[in-house]
Each structure stands twice: as C-alpha cells, then as structure tokens.
Amino acid sequence: MECVSWLVPILPGKLEAWKAFDAQMRTRHAEFEASRRRMGIVREVASLAQTPQGDFLCLFHEGEDLARAFGMLATSDEPFDRWFRDQVAELHGLTPQLLLAELPAKLYFDYHPAGG
C-alpha cells in the first residue's frame, strides 16, 4: 500500500464554487465510492486550508498503485469520473495531463507505531 499527501490550490474566486462541489459530492457518495473502488483507492482525505497565500485543498490518498489510480481518473470514460475530472480542472486547474504525470508529492516519512 502506498500513500501521498499533497496540496492543490483552489483557484482565486472559486472558493464558493468549491464548497458547492463539496456539497454535490455528499449527494453522490455511492458514485464516488464506486469510482475510488475502481481505481484501487482505499482512503482519501480532503481538508480546506485557508492561508494568506490563498485557499488550498490538503489531500491524502492511499491505495495499491497511486500512479495507476490517478491515470485511471485522467482517462476514464465513466460519467462520474468525467464530471469529477471537469470539476477539478475548473476549481483547481488540475488537467488530465497533470494527473498522468509523476505523483504530485514524494513521501519522505510515514510513521506507524509498532504493532499498529
């Protein structure tokens, strides 16, 4: 299992649209879950960080093969995946080409307590 934590900007003027997207995601939970299951994602965490430099989404992904998972999201023809991909492009500037590139962050430290 591999994991990655990374930041993605919420583009200027898009915070309210991002909040609306977040609300839509809550109503589409079954589609989201099916999407992540197809991609092999076992955990995804998103937190909003509001800083003097702008608004950011703090993301954590865990799965068997994250490069493969991001690649699947970038190329999927599933209706939910296309909708999700369009939303992240509009709100964050993440294009399919960026999703197909190397993972957005390199893991340097991953603490797990003994036996846990």
Each residue's pLDDT, cut to its tens digit, for the chain (116 residues) gives 899 999 999 999 999 999 999 999 999 999 999 999 999 999 999 999 999 999 999 999 999 999 999 999 999 999 999 999 999 999 999 988 888 888 878 888 888 888 76
Fold of the CATH domain 2-100: Alpha-Beta Plaits (3.30.70)
Torsions phi, psi for 55 (to 5 deg): -95, 140
Q: Read off the pTM.
A: 0.87
Integer Cα distance of 37 and 34 in angstroms: 5
- The torsion of the CA quartet 10, 49, 67, 44, rounded to 10 degrees, works out to -120
